[in-house]
Each structure stands twice: as C-alpha cells, then as structure tokens.
Amino acid sequence: MYALRPNYPVLPPSPLTLRPTPERMNAHSDYRGRGVVIAYLDSGFYEHPDIVERIVSHVDCTTDTFTESMMTAPAIESFVWHGMMSSVIGSGNGSMSNGLYRGIASESQLFLVKVSSIHNQLKEHDILCGFQWVLANHRRCNIRIVNASIGGDFVNQSANHALHVIIRELVEQGVIVVVAAGNHGASHVFPPASAPEAITVGGINDQNSLRPADWQLYHSNHGFAHDGTHKPDLVAPAQWVASPILPNSIVAKEARWLSPLMQLHNDQTRTQILQTWQKDMNLTADQVNQHDPHLYAQLEKRVHDFKLIHPHYQHVEGTSAAAPIVSSVIAQMLEIQPTLAPAQVMEILKKASRPLSNGPLHKQGAGALDAGQAISLTLAASRKTIRRVTQRQTQGDSKNAPRIS
C-alpha cells in the first residue's frame, strides 16, 4: 500500500494529525466564550455549519445604508471564504469534524460585518464603515470584541487617521479591538493595525508542535503605531491552522473524493475508493486496479496543493488566522470576568505570552500567547475583585450595624 504522507509538519513525538487550535494554544476547555458577542469584520461571509446557529445577524456595510439581514449571495468566492475562515477559526464548534477542529470560543455569538465595497474591493473606507457600524451599535448588540483580519492601504502615522480615531473611540467605550498585523514581513504596519489601542497580532509557525523549541516567527508585518508603540503586541499560530473548506467550492469537490484516500487501511480499500470515483477522477481501469505509484504521487500532490487535512477542513496560514485565535481567547476571559476593560485585557494577554528565543522582540511583541495562562491570570484577577467587593460590603454592614451597649 502506498501511504499518503501528511501535508503538514509532523515532529516526533507528535501524532500523525494536524493538532486542533485549542490543543496548540493550551486552551482551557471549560470556557468557550459563553455569553460573549464578537463582531467579525471581513470581506464577506458564508454561514458555515460550525457557526450558523450562533450568528446573531449579518451586517452589510457595502453601501452607505447599513443593512442587517440574513446572508446574501456571494459575488466572489475568495471574499466569502476569507470571512468564513476567520469567523470559524475563532468561533466554530467543529460540527463537521465531530468537534475536533473547533475554535476556542465555540459558544460565542457572532455578528458578521461585511466591509467590502459594492465593487468587491476592500479599501480603508470600507473597513471604516464596518467600524462605524460597530461604534453605533455595540451597546445595543452587546458587542465586546471586534476582530478585523483585514488591513488598510497605506502607512499612516497620524493620530487623526479615521481608523485610528474610531478604534480609540471604541476602546474608550469598552470594546476590545483585535487586528491582524499583515503577512509581508514588512517593517511597517498599516491602519487599523497601527492603532495603539488595538491588539495587533503577528504570527508564529509552531510546526504543528507543542514544544516551544520548535517554534519560529512567521513573516508578519512589524513596526510602530502612530504614538511609537511597537507592533505587533503579541503573536499566535499563523501557519498550519485548521480551517473549514468553503462548501460547494472547487476545493470541497476535490476533498470529497481525495479525503478518503488520506485514511487508507489497505490496498483493497484504496481500490474500492478509486473505483467509486473513477469517472470523476478521469482514471483508466488499469490505473485503478494496478496500484500505480505514479498515480498515487499525483493524488498526493493534489491533497497537498489543496492543503487538505479532513473531508471538510484544510490548513491555512496568515495573521488573518492568528487574530481570531486571540479574539477567541479574549472571549474566554470575558466569560469569566465580563467587566474587564480593554487595557486590562491587553495587560493579561501580554503577561500570558512568552517570547520566542530565536526571534527578535520587535517582531513578536510580548511573544507567543498561552491561552491557559491567560485564563489562569483572569481567574486570579476575578477572585481579587470578588474579595474586594466582599470586603467593601462587609465594612459597610459593620458600619451600619446597631451598637450593643
């Protein structure tokens, strides 16, 4: 039997599978973003089964008149895929994989905010429109986190840049803004990632390993916010990240018949699979029945090209994937302590991050986020808050208690 080699790193003693995000982030399984609302700003969306039951609304900001509605038909597949990817990575429940490839905030609620233009472009003005909708509606909708896996057009160091101003306003009103740093390895960041108040997320390549010694920095953008603050603020997995395949897409059709070949047990099983899909794969009877190694090499290449890891999932890369991972950890934190202010969230995240020894600090900020440590710090802060409240209540009761003479 010709076994398919995995299309992702497998470093001993790692299992022969792509690790799910919660495992790689050391995430606490008891907290899944319950009761927390996240607004995902992106170029377009698809109501994937992993999130569909928790979508509060789809907001279309492609015109001056914002519309809250059910999902509209996509114009460009890649635009829809990107928003589906970011929202499911952060908030998906993994239903298409029996829970294996769930996001960390798998019980959070979602607003999907489409910010591309009516001409299917994504410019700073379009991103601004999405933030404007959140600013106007976050109290009504109880939105606590905004995830923006998108970037602007030009470097801008002005405090008065429209995206910098609106992020500052959102943070002042208690909304936590998480932004992808960008993927070009450039020594500058674009708005909105250059807003000092935003949690700007760079990436690491953890090589599908739990050992920090194996981790490397991803080629994220890095630089300064307009006030001189270093960006990114921290880093998270940006390569080999499990993500859903867009249903009814070309990749989904390929995965339908290629994925069973990734789970072969014997030559007979493989022959049966190839016979089933012989017509779709344009194979001859000899290719199906003679176990041609050259054919299998071609099939393996197709699996690798489409980055398949499962019949319904593939792996992706980019800080667009790293940002929603951080957003999902913040949702866990807010589930524990809903009153956390954005500055407190930033402080905890940085304390819960560990710098990579093999990369310069200015490219990674506080370092790689440990989700479990973030939760431990949040729980500790929550207990301190409860003690302070209890002490104040006790002191108040003693002052008001009648004196016994």
Where are the chain's structural domains?
A: 21-243+314-385, 250-311
Amino acid occupying residue 123: K
**What pLDDT is stored for residue 73 in this prediction?**
46
**What pLDDT is stored for residue 207 in this prediction?**
95
29-38, 152-161, 177-186: the lowest-pLDDT one: 152-161
Give me the residues paired with residue 148 across strands.
41, 179
**What pLDDT is stored for residue 404 in this prediction?**
46
Separation of alpha carbons 192 and 201, rounded Å = 12
Residue carrying the six token digits 């099939």 = 299
Separation of alpha carbons 83 and 259, rounded Å = 24
Average pLDDT, the chain: 88
Sign of CA dihedral 175, 33, 329, 322: negative
pLDDT tier at 276 (50, 70, 90 boundaries)? low
CATH code for the structural domain at 21-243+314-385: 3.40.50.200
Is 43 within 8 Å of 82 (Cβ atoms)? yes
- The stretch 35-48 carries a mean pLDDT of 95
Edge-to-edge strand ranges of the sheet holding 313-316: 241-244, 313-316, 308-310
Instruction: Collapse the DSSP code of 253 into the 3-class scheme (helix H, G, I; strand E, B; otherwise coil) and give the result.
Output: helix
pLDDT at 218 over 70: yes
14-18, 23-27, 130-134, 216-220: the lowest-pLDDT one: 14-18
Separation of alpha carbons 332 and 55, rounded Å = 18
Percent of the chain with pLDDT over 70: 84
pLDDT at 62 over 90: no
pLDDT in tens, 137-180: 999 999 999 999 999 888 999 999 999 999 999 999 999 999 99
**What pLDDT is stored for residue 383 in this prediction?**
84
81-95, 267-281, 292-306: the lowest-pLDDT one: 267-281
21-30, 77-86, 351-360, 370-379: the lowest-pLDDT one: 77-86
Q: Which residues contact 369 (CB under 8 A, 6 or more apart)?
A: 25, 234, 235, 236, 325, 326, 329, 349, 352, 353
**What pLDDT is stored for residue 74 in this prediction?**
47
56-60, 195-199, 210-214, 264-268: the lowest-pLDDT one: 264-268
pLDDT in tens, 289-338: 766 677 778 888 888 999 999 999 999 999 999 999 999 999 999 999 99
Is 148 within 8 Å of 134 (Cβ atoms)? no
pLDDT in tens, 246-267: 999 989 988 887 887 776 555 5
Note the Cα 93 to chain centre separation in Å. Answer: 13
Q: Pick the closest to residue 68 from 149, 141, 166, 158 (CA basis).
A: 141
Is 95 within 8 Å of 312 (Cβ atoms)? no
Separation of alpha carbons 340 and 347, rounded Å = 11
**What pLDDT is stored for residue 382 in this prediction?**
85
pLDDT in tens, 233-242: 999 999 999 9
Tokens of 227: 């006030």
**What pLDDT is stored for residue 275 in this prediction?**
65
pLDDT at 123 over 60: yes
DSSP-assigned letter for residue 311: T
Amino acid occupying residue 348: I
Percent of the chain with pLDDT over 90: 68
- For the CA atoms of 369, 16, 30, 338, the dihedral, rounded to the nearest 10 degrees, stands at 30
Is 270 within 8 Å of 264 (Cβ atoms)? yes
DSSP string across 170-230: HHHTT-EEEEE--SS--SS--TTTT-TTSEEEEEEE-TT-S-GGG-EE-----EE-TTS-E
pLDDT tier at 405 (50, 70, 90 boundaries)? very low
Q: How far is CA 144 from CA 140, 150, 157, 334, in A?
A: 11, 19, 27, 8
Helix 319-336 and helix 371-400: axis angle, to 10°? 30
Is 70 within 8 Å of 62 (Cβ atoms)? no
Give me the residues paired with residue 109 across strands.
37
Separation of alpha carbons 367 and 233, rounded Å = 8
Separation of alpha carbons 58 and 63, rounded Å = 14
Give me the residues paired with residue 208 across strands.
none
pTM of the prediction?
0.90
**What pLDDT is stored for residue 335 in this prediction?**
98
Is 216 within 8 Å of 182 (Cβ atoms)? no
Give me the residues paired with residue 243 across strands.
314
- The stretch 214-238 carries a mean pLDDT of 97
